[in-house]
Structure 1
Amino acid sequence: MASTPFVGRGAELNLLRKRLDRTLATGSGTAVAIRGRRQVGKSRLVQEFCDRARLPYLFFTATKGASSLEALAAFHTELRESQLLPGDGALLSASPPSNWPDAFRLLASALSDAPGVVVLDELPWLAEQDQVFDGALQTAWDRLLSQRPVLLLLLGSDLHMMERLTAYDRPFYGRADSFVLGPLNPAETGSALGLDASDAIDAHLVSGGLPGILRAWPHATPALDFIEAECADPASPLFGVPEAALMAEFPAPDQSRRVLEAIGGGDRTHTNIAATAGSRSGALPSGVLSPILHRLSEEKRVLAVDSPLSVKPGKPALYRVADSNLRLYLAALRSAQEQTRRGRPEAAFGLVRRRWASWRGRAVEPLIRESLELAAMDGDFPWPETGTVGGWWNRQFSPEIDLVGADRAPVAGTLFFAGSVKWLTSPFDQHDLTALEQGVAQLPGFVPGSTGLVVASRAGMTAGIASDRIGLVWGPRDVVGAWPE
């Protein structure tokens, strides 16, 4: 099968090109730390950039679990075979360095005065192997590398460790620009697969925008058709990518893993998560669960936390798996994979299809909220002062308002709009409008006649609804159009 062409990432390529241009103009080094979850395409992005830059480069990828001496030997081999050295690399000694300070001195001698790009991929694994690696990198950068025309790209999938690399109390503080590489956006997903807006959103939700899954996705194939075909393949990336991510972050079935699985299975509140993730002796105590939730959301970034948005503080907070692909895996694909492994593809797909509408209805809400936030930056948006879009609910979850646009969060000063998401094959109808109008009457800060109403619907609205009652109808094309391709 032909390789998938490189799609999207225009902003990220321009960002890297800007740093390279700075290096070429000044003759001094520039360092950039790039972090992002596994399979998001960090290595592919940087390889594409290196190919387009047409400069000599070294691309070294660490191996998890390797010893420091093994990593140094591999680095030495890559350096000998890289484009940074003329000829066959005979200028380097035959023996690899025994420590990272010596390795970086070899790198500096290879760079000489010619511009080049140096990529260190999976940097956290190098730091795990050798406690002095961070300090050696900082010393080499300050004394040797930063005086040369080199663009140093530091990549890593452990978000917390990559953040710590440039933290105030760490050696490399203040020496590197940093950015997070997220998944492909819905517009890029649709462009890569040749899908219309509705199908592009479904594909984005299923894949999480991860190139590792999209590379296996046949052109112009709707999401359910793709899932059905992949249910005949137990080794499909549809199963393998989220499974690998789960095992990499949570190799042991410990309490953190149970908490994540409870949330992936549909539990959203602290109380329900504690009950599901608990043991036979009872629910997880708050003193145990709260630190786990904090770690999963603030350090691992695998969870997102949503709080009710209105002009008054609200509770409870709701938890969800941040990546929609991992969320689908925990909700349905993992069980489907078991059926596939047993040679029952029809049963596997039937399981996913039964859970599809309910799962998609929840999974699309954060995407719609983000698209409205992006659209508010456009002067044509009805409420350009909108700074954040969330949802609102009370302790009884009756009602739940899917969309709330406000000036700020978590406690708003002004609400600009409130609305409902109906992402089904049937259109938004009079019954839905009545429920929305009754619900927003309980939303703190909603002012009838002033606060607008918004409908996000996959199938539009029925003809009988008066258009003057709805300030904005947000459909699939609007959602996808909020993102640049």
Structure 2
Amino acid sequence: MKKHQQPEIIGRKAEQDLLAQALQQPEAQLLAVYGRRRVGKTYLIRKFYSRQLLFEFSGVHNGATRSQLENFAHALKQAENMSLPPAVPTSWGQAFQSLQDVLQPKLKKKKGVVFLDEFPWLNAPRSGFLSAFEFFWNNWASKQPNLVIVICGSAASWMIQKVVNNKGGLHNRITRKIRLLPFTLNETADFLSARKIRLDHYQIAQLYMTMGGIPHYLKEVEPGQSAAQAIDRSCFSKDGLLRQEFQNLYHSLFSNAQAHIAIVRALAAKPSGLTRNEIIEACALKTGGTTSLLLDELTESGFIAAYIPFNKSLRDRIYKLSDEYTAFYVKFIERSRAMGPGTWLKMMRSQSWKSWSGLAFESLCLKHVSALKAALGIAGIYTEESAWRFTGRKEVAGCQVDLLIDRSDSCISLCEMKFSDGPFTISKEYAAVLTHKRQTFISESKTRKTVFLAMVTTFGVSSNVYKASLIQNEITLEDLFSASS
């Protein structure tokens, strides 16, 4: 571990390097940190900059400007250890002037960090917040070589549009940006281990397929519980965190959340994905900028992901739901009539669970392509990942490939992903499906590259004649937990 990395921070090594670099620069730094709600942004900044933090302040969702300014005054009191809070500023301009007065003597002595959390929530209509912050940065803060300002927000799209791509006073002022993503499988295992939770990789994968790598959700897991017990309690008990989280999640991030929710529901109903036009039709949206903005907001916030089909252009991209919790909520939680202990254990015996687990495992694999590449021995080779779909015609049945790795070594890996509670066996029927898929891809794509079939499974593939004749590469769940992912 590098000396600037904090031992109590799980993973986040690249992000910690960026935060450390900001402290080493000889001029003022303005960092933008964004990512979906509950992903651990606040924890990362507080922990990493615990020794340098001079002032911390967080916006309140839908808070009136007056109450936000009152909170700002209390934050100044805390930063200065005052017995009484200072007078409440009458404007954001006055608030930042007060902050400047507090910081000025401290920054003469050492490096200091100002942390403005939930930054978008401070910019209420007609509050004048953003213009006041721009003035504060451009006229004073940017001239303080010992100052690092971190602005952080869960409304990722707002952060991109209003801060990172700002066309006004903050244009090109951001010195570093961090988009904080959920934990990988490997980081999830480390996080649980640090909390004294001992689960094998199969159990952790089930948690990941339900909650994703969201630290706040993973805190629901208690020592001595199985994954099924943790899911049962957090999702299907009356007061379970994840039973009530869905509406809060979207409404806290998006002002017009119903449109965003409509899109994720449409994608949940079509796991293979939808094109932009199909989303417009399914959700009765208007064509044009509004739809593009909705899709960008959901993508930047990490709820959906766009994939460009093999040999297609950007305008042919397919959108898929990538947030595990959203998919699980729509599939099981909101539909569940039963509640209480044992609900999930009962559902796990249903056909619905079997179909969901297969799709959830595919989604998990798509998020760990770097680990897949390492397992294939092509980590250092340039690749392009995509999906491929053939609708079929009269004499040729349709088929699709959910993960295709197009390699610069003149090869293509078609990845088949299967979730099971033991070694997966390729039957005669499934062997025919795989043969058809490979041959159809070669003939329809007209590729001249060598095409390999790779199986990605939980516990490997049982040896038989079909495996020997069809499968060139085998990847297991253990490979997906590689630290390189």
| Interval containing the TM-score (normalised by the shorter chain) | 0.7 to 0.9
Per-residue CA distance 1:448-470 (angstroms, 9 max, x = gap) = 98222211111311211454743
Aligned length: 451
Residue range with higher mean Cα deviation, 385-394 or 424-433: 424-433
What is the match of residue 286 of structure 2? 288
Does the 8 Å CA contact 2:123/2:130 hold for their aligned counterparts? yes
- The 1:166/1:250 distance shift into structure 2, 3 A limit, reads closer
Structure 2 match to 1:420: 416
5+ unaligned residues in a row in structure 2: which ranges? Answer: 1-7, 193-197
Decide whether aligned partners of structure 1 residues 6 and 220 sit closer, same or farther in structure 2, where only a CA change above 3 A counts: farther
- Shift of residue 183 of structure 1? 0.9
Contact 1:315 1:394 in 2 (8 A): no
> Is the Cα–Cα contact under 8 Å of residues 373 and 388 in structure 1 kept in the other structure?
no
Q: Which moved more, 1:436-445 or 1:193-202?
A: 193-202
Aligned letter for 1:201? Answer: A
CA distance change for structure 1 residues 147 and 289 in 2, over 3 Å: closer, same or farther?
closer
Alignment of 1:385 onto 2:386: no
Q: Deviations over 1:232-261 (max 9, x none)?
A: 522212223334213334677845433332
Please tell me the residue identity of whatever aligns with 2:14: A
Q: CA deviation at 1:368?
A: 1.7
The partner residue of 1:123 within 110, 119, 122 is 119
For the 8 Å contact 1:406–1:416, the answer to whether it is kept is: yes
Q: How does 1:245-284 map to 2 (within 5 A)?
A: 245-249=249-253, 254-266=258-270, 268-269=273-274, 277=283, 284=284
TM-score normalised by structure 1 residue count: 0.82
How large is the Cα RMSD of the aligned pairs?
3.2
Counterpart of 1:13 in structure 2 is 16
1:281 aligns with none
CA distance in 1, matches of 2:12, 2:154: 18
Distance in 1, matches of 2:99 and 2:135, equals 13
- Alpha-carbon distance in 2 for matches of 1:246, 1:75: 26
Q: CA deviation at 1:404?
A: 0.9
User: Structure 1 residue 331: deviation in Å?
Assistant: 1.6
Q: Confirm whether residue 305 of structure 1 aligns to residue 328 of structure 2.
A: no
1:40 has 2:34 as partner: no
Aligned-residue sequence identity (percent) comes to: 20
Residue 50 (structure 1) aligned with residue 35 (structure 2)? no
1:198 aligned to 193, 197, 202, which one? 202
Q: Is the 8 Å Cα contact of residues 203 and 222 (structure 1) preserved in structure 2?
A: no
Provide the residue aligned with 2:62 in structure 1: 65
Contact 2:138/2:169 (<8 A) preserved: no
Structure 1: give runs of 5+ residues left out of the alignment: 278-283
Aligned counterparts of 1:420 and 1:66: Cα–Cα separation in 2: 48
Task: Tell me, in whole angstroms, the C-alpha distance in 1 between the residues paired with 2:446 and 2:434.
Answer: 12
Change (3 A) 1:317 1:349: farther
Shift of 1:407: 4.3
The answer to whether the Cα contact below 8 Å between 1:261 and 1:330 also exists between their aligned partners in 2 is yes
Q: Name the TM-score, length of structure 2 as normaliser.
A: 0.82
- Of 237-246 and 439-448, the range deviating more from structure 2: 439-448
Alpha-carbon distance in structure 2 between the residues aligned to 1:68 and 1:182: 30
Determine the C-alpha separation between the residues in 2 that align with 1:353 and 1:238: 21
Query: What's the CA shift string for 1:294-313, capped at 9, x where partnerless?
Result: 3332123232233432x466
- Where 2:453 maps in the other structure, the secondary structure is strand
Mapped to 2, the partners of 1:381 and 1:39 lie a distance apart of 34
Shift in alpha-carbon separation, 1:456–1:156, aligned structure 2, 3 A: same
Shift of the 13–274 alpha-carbon distance from structure 1 to 2, 3 Å rule, reads closer
Quote how far apart the aligned CAs of 1:339 are.
Answer: 3.5
Amino acid at match of 2:143: Q
Q: Which residue of 2 aligns with 1:437?
A: 435
Quote the residue 2:195 is aligned against. Answer: none
- Deviation at residue 100 of structure 1 after TM alignment: 1.5
* Alpha-carbon distance between aligned partners in 2 of 1:330 and 1:34, rounded to the nearest angstrom: 29
Q: Which residue of 2 aligns with 1:211?
A: 215
Aligned to 1:167: 165
Mean CA deviation greater in 462-471 or 359-368? 462-471
Q: CA deviation at 1:32?
A: 0.4
Name the CA shift for 1:460/1:393 in 2 (closer, same or farther; >3 Å).
Answer: same
- Residue 147 of structure 2 corresponds to residue 150 of structure 1: yes
Q: Which moved more, 1:230-239 or 1:325-334?
A: 230-239
Q: Aligned match of 1:133 in 129, 139, 158?
A: 129
